Amino acid sequence: MKNPNLYVILLALFLVPQALIAQDTGFELSGAVLSHYMWRGMRLSEGGVFQPSVTVSDKGFSLNLWANYQFDPRRWSEADITAAYTKEKEKYSYEVGYIHYGVNEGPDSDEIYTGVSHDDAFKPSLYIYRDVNYGKGSYIQVGLEPAIPLGKKAALNLKAHAGYVLKNAYMGTTDDGKDFSNFYSADFQTSLTLPLGKRVTFEPMLGYSTALSRNARQAIKGSSVAPRGETLYGGATLTLSLD
């Protein structure tokens, strides 16, 4: 592992002690097993992955530690840190945050972002990400995330996200090596939230991702292992939540 930051993040990810968390602080621990590592339309693994995540939150502030482990070859490929602040007013939720992408055998980068979502039946959202390190560009994402209740704490979740890139080299380049501004990718997911007791949920998921423009298809093919710029993927997540 050539990236020393990866060691630090992975150590924190697995050693965050619950004993240090105040009584009124939220704590969430999850682990996902997926057929592929997907990020904004890019397939970043040939095969299956394991993605652990720890989130601590209090009074609107949150800190998330996340990592990706590839089964073939067996290695930790990435570990990220996200710090955010969320403010809710009426049915709107406003968020600002910072993300550090710690990539093994690849360039690290950093983003600042802001977003807004509305708590109605379709749960629309708009997020703007600005890469302030490697990419030197932006990414705009709009989404819908409706959920259909299926009983106490169980739900059918539907997600649709679409992105637009603004000269962000971290999102890949065209065949001639140039960054670009154009529609990027669309991602569709369906999942089931199934309660396993009061604090644990199990969520199987199936997703599909595709490029939305010729430039994006070239960038996705060049920066990922999706030969046609599209991927069908799936998996499941187990989550423990303590409030």
Q: What is the pLDDT of residues 43-61, one digit of tens each?
A: 999 999 999 999 999 889 9
CATH number where 113 lies: 2.40.128.140
For the chain, the average pLDDT equals: 90
Contact at 8 Å (CB) between 183 and 162? Answer: yes
Residue 1 confidence (pLDDT): 45
pLDDT class of 210 with cuts at 50, 70, 90: very high
Does some domain include residue 187?
Answer: yes
Q: What is the pLDDT of residues 13-28, one digit of tens each?
A: 555 544 445 556 889 9
Q: Is residue 22 part of a domain?
A: no
pTM exceeds 0.85 = yes
Chain-centre distance for alpha carbon 81? 11
Question: 111 in a domain, yes or no?
Answer: yes
Per-residue pLDDT of 67-112, as tens digits, reads: 999 998 899 999 999 999 999 999 999 999 999 999 988 889 999 9
Q: Is 136 exposed, middle or buried (0-12, 13-18, 19+ CB in 10 A)?
A: middle
**Residue 99 domain-assigned?**
yes
Q: Residue 35: name the closest of 206, 166, 188, 168 by CA.
A: 206
Query: Is the confidence at residue 204, as pLDDT, over 70?
Result: yes
pLDDT score for 243: 74
Question: What local confidence, expressed as pLDDT, does residue 242 receive?
Answer: 84
Number of domains in the chain: 1
Q: Does the residue 171 lie in any domain?
A: yes
Which amino acid makes up residue 9? I
- Looking at the predicted structure, is the pLDDT value of residue 36 above 50? yes
**Domain span at residue 72?**
4-17+27-242
